[in-house]
């Protein structure tokens, strides 16, 4: 374990806190739902704590974890900085497996957005294909005339039990920047925190549009 510097990565810590405030306004982390992680070194990541109001977190509330770069799915990690009053998030091993399977991921946002969740209610399949919107171009590698497919995992009782499934599915969908979890929400990543936020906004817009479009079709308006 190389680091034990509670003021290290202060910029990234502040960024997580600031972004969580914005996500709260967008309705993505209400209750104590959702969360965020930034990878600060190849094997080190900051993680928002579990079970707290995400819009209220301070830099000193964040966990710093060390994980081993490997292609195996088991989400092993050790805690480098542990804010004494907090519990590590149940989605930590999910974040870890995303970083392990997607080397380019530099940040992950977990949102409970109702747009994402309602989409998983109307799409019974194990994946959803998004197409027909300019906003697709906000997703790296996607085009307007192309389409973009995201996997949908079924939810489980204990979030940590999703970690292996997330790791496997991330490997199977190399063009996806997110995994949907039915009845639950979404994990979205990007090369940087900025790109993770852009991807999260584009997906949320596309999910909202997807359900609206189905709705208008059901009324023969499209």
Residues acting as catalytic residues: 134
DSSP state letters, 141-200: T--SSSEEEEEEEPP-SSGGGGHHHHHHHHHH-TT-SEEEETTTEEEEEESSHHHHHHHH
Report if residue 125 touches a copy of itself, rule: CB under 8 A. no
Question: Site for a copy of itself (CB under 8 A): which residue of 144, 147, 149, 172?
Answer: 144
**Number of residues engaging a copy of itself in binding (CB under 8 A):** 47
Report if residue 220 touches a copy of itself, rule: CB under 8 A. yes
Return the range that interacts with a copy of itself (CB under 8 A); candidates 6-14, 69-77, 169-177, 200-208: 200-208
Tokens matching residue 168: 């496997």
Cα(181)–Cα(169) distance, integer angstroms: 11
DSSP-based three-state secondary structure for 140? coil
Report if residue 216 touches a copy of itself, rule: CB under 8 A. yes
Q: Smaller CB distance to a copy of itself: residue 135 or 171? A: 135
Per-residue x/- marks for a copy of itself, 11-50, CB under 8 A?
Answer: ----------------x--xxxx-----------------
Question: Site for a copy of itself (CB under 8 A): which residue of 117, 128, 186, 188?
Answer: 117
Taken as a whole, the chain contains a residue count of 222
Question: Site for a copy of itself (CB under 8 A): which residue of 138, 160, 164, 171?
Answer: 138
Residue 172 — left, alpha, or beta (φ > 0 → left; ψ -120 to 50 → alpha)? alpha
Determine how β-strand 77-81 pairs with β-strand 107-111: unpaired
DSSP-based three-state secondary structure for 52? coil
Q: Footprint of a copy of itself on this chain (CB under 8 A)?
A: 27, 30-33, 53, 112, 114, 117-118, 121-122, 132-135, 138, 143-145, 155-157, 181, 183-185, 194, 197-198, 201-202, 204-205, 208-209, 211-216, 218-222
């Amino acid at each position: 374990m190389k680091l034990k510097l509670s003021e290290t990565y202060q910029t990234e810590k502040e960024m997580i806190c600031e972004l969580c405030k914005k996500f709260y306004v967008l309705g993505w982390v209400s209750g104590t739902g959702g969360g965020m992680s930034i990878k600060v070194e190849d094997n080190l990541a900051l993680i928002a704590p579990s079970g707290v109001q995400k819009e209220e977190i301070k830099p000193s509330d964040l966990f710093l974890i060390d994980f081993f770069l490997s292609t195996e799915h088991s989400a092993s990690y050790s805690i480098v900085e542990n804010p004494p009053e907090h519990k590590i998030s149940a989605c930590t091993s999910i974040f870890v497996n995303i970083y392990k399977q997607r080397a380019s991921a530099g940040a992950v946002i977990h949102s409970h957005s109702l747009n994402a969740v309602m989409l998983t209610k109307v799409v019974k399949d194990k994946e959803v294909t998004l197409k027909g919107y300019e906003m697709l171009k906000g997703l790296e590698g996607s085009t307007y005339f192309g389409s973009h497919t995201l996997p949908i995992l079924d939810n489980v009782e204990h979030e940590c039990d999703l970690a292996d499934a997330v790791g496997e599915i991330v490997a199977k969908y190399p063009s996806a920047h997110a995994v949907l979890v039915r009845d639950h929400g979404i994990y979205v990543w990007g090369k940087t925190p900025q790109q993770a936020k852009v991807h999260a906004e584009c997906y949320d817009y596309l999910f909202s549009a997807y359900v609206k479009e189905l709705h208008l079709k059901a009324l023969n308006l499209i």
